[in-house]
Structure 1
């Protein structure tokens, strides 16, 4: 008996075509359209399709992802053996990581998309959907958390990042690399991500807003003050190097920490935020002593996702947030 795999289509490049009145391609194709373009899927599984929205991934919201997580839980209870989410690539790493934090299921959850829309020669959407479904029916993928399957590579949501604006091999998982791949339609999984705490099924809170600010040379800190004044619930700072800031930005961050949770990540996108190396004003030692919370190895985008979900679950104390970032960012 073939397993049931549910494909949840959210739009994105994989679903885009030319449309009258538009200067470029826009989301047009439904989940049914995407599945019908890959007839081999019928040989692998019974495919269910769902199209809760059809938007570019830049338009997706946290509320959309909470709704997708709820839909997945419901379908899992009804007997679905796995899930494939198709969407635009711009926010895949954030969507996959949010689902990784929200879901604790013994079924695969795979996110995929395309870099070349269906009007292009060599469009990669059909191949990526086929590979994603092949991973979704693979028993070894059941306990790996959310996955991103792209270009015949299998990536953990905990590490994957988009690294190129247009190349089909855009997704990388530094420093580990992909946890597996597909070869001649066979799924090979050679690494298992370390188990991670799951935040569970907290409801989306529309009042929760987290800003992300990247620091630069001579930063005067005014954007930090403005974010607090604007009423943001939390703030993620992408600091210089190992987690550093100018003197003015450090002063602004100290003011911000007195009012909202502030998480310190690195703008480099690789490595961990340092904790005990540099001692100048605006160094990681100085900023952490002012009350900033270390993101550990999490980049700014993942830190923002984690902080948002924590605040939605009413984990608002600095101590609880710091403990969560310790679990997810350094362990």
Structure 2
């Protein structure tokens, strides 16, 4: 099994002005009690030493390539440790890039190693157990925290500091680690895998709609990006004053409509007023389904960076958003 460390709270120790990512992957493992009881051989790699907030798409595409190389060299599972600030996004990037059946499990810590009750060792042990389990195969990227196993596609961070910060609001965890045993009673179909020989440099914006927005700010943002995700009110609503700006932008580049609420899908045909979900979709916006705005931005970024066309973007969101996925279909069948 390969363990890749990217830094983050799990690897932080006190510095001059607060904790900073310093521990190597090997040092992380030495702090895990009970690891000797797991019959796995570990290939340990310090891939980055960065706070989660400083990770980039380039870091993750390079990591995915390194993970693929590890599997080609014989490892049968991968664990990634990193900062929790961006796990709900980075894990989904890996989920979209991972083409193998071998488990990929991302974890980290909400409490750094210098704190009482640091959760990093327990999370890392549970992640290694999960990646070593045959029940975790062919599920894409998983996230393990607090002995819960989550699908990366649905995971959200919902608290700034609680060890129970990670939840899957729409679908719940798919499994648990109990008494050292990995239980995954819920199996979900794999989504499409995105590939590209050369990833383009693109900018994808995320605009969260707020009370009184009139379209001026979203127009300004739209001029600077290759695509935009709109985190709208409720089931997909915006102020009427924003509609002309969004319609104009959607006529020239992809604009995805997601809900800022954090749970539940964007609707498609319930409301009919100006600025409602049906009005916006009729004007060319793309529904995100169950994908929250952060996940929708990740998917749109990778799609545009891979060079697919506008029709493929729309079809892929229809597939991945959870309201139109046909089990067994490949990415090519959707695009």
TM over 0.5, shorter chain: yes
Spell out, residue by residue over 1:269-306, the C-alpha distance to the aligned partner (whole angstroms, 9 max, x if none): 11111111111111111111111000011000000000
Return the alpha-carbon distance in structure 2 between the equivalents of residues 100 and 196 of structure 1. 8
* 1:168 aligns with one of 163, 168, 171: 163
State how 1:288-303 maps to structure 2 within 5 Å: 288-303=281-296
Return the alpha-carbon distance in structure 1 between the equivalents of residues 88 and 33 of structure 2. 28
SS in 2 for 1:52: strand
State how 1:32-71 maps to structure 2 within 5 Å: 32-38=26-32, 40-44=34-38, 45-71=40-66
CA contact (8 A) 2:9 2:109 kept: yes
Return the alpha-carbon distance in structure 1 between the equivalents of residues 308 and 215 of structure 2. 27
Return the alpha-carbon distance in structure 2 between the equivalents of residues 202 and 163 of structure 1. 35
Return the alpha-carbon distance in structure 2 between the equivalents of residues 188 and 141 of structure 1. 9
Counterpart of 1:19 in structure 2 is 15
Q: Which moved more, 1:299-308 or 1:213-222?
A: 213-222
Spell out, residue by residue over 1:215-260, the C-alpha distance to the aligned partner (whole angstroms, 9 max, x if none): 0111111221111222x11100001111011122111101211221
Counterpart of 1:276 in structure 2 is 269
1:74 aligns with 2:66: no
Counterpart of 1:105 in structure 2 is 100
* 1:10 aligns with one of 1, 6, 10: 6
1:135 aligns with 2:148: no
* 1:224 aligns with one of 218, 221, 224: 218
RMSD of the TM alignment (CA)? 1.2
Spell out, residue by residue over 1:117-155, the C-alpha distance to the aligned partner (whole angstroms, 9 max, x if none): 001000000111111000011011011111001111111
CA contact (8 A) 1:103 1:200 kept: no
- Give the Å deviation of 1:165: 0.7
SS in 1 for 2:18: coil
CA contact (8 A) 1:62 1:204 kept: no
* 1:188 aligns with one of 162, 173, 183: 183
CA contact (8 A) 1:164 1:170 kept: yes
Q: Runs of 5+ in structure 1 lacking a partner?
A: none
CA contact (8 A) 2:10 2:112 kept: yes
Return the alpha-carbon distance in structure 2 between the equivalents of residues 38 and 216 of structure 1. 44
CA contact (8 A) 2:169 2:262 kept: no
- Give the Å deviation of 1:312: 1.1
State how 1:197-208 maps to structure 2 within 5 Å: 197-205=192-200, 207-208=201-202
* 1:210 aligns with one of 201, 204, 211: 204
Return the alpha-carbon distance in structure 1 between the equivalents of residues 131 and 196 of structure 2. 22
State how 1:256-271 maps to structure 2 within 5 Å: 256-271=249-264
- Give the Å deviation of 1:191: 0.4
CA contact (8 A) 1:17 1:117 kept: yes
Counterpart of 1:324 in structure 2 is 316
CA contact (8 A) 1:278 1:284 kept: yes
In the alignment of these two chains, the number of paired residues is 322
Counterpart of 2:24 in structure 1 is 30
Return the alpha-carbon distance in structure 1 between the equivalents of residues 28 and 196 of structure 2. 29
- Give the Å deviation of 1:202: 4.9
State how 1:235-250 maps to structure 2 within 5 Å: 235-250=228-243
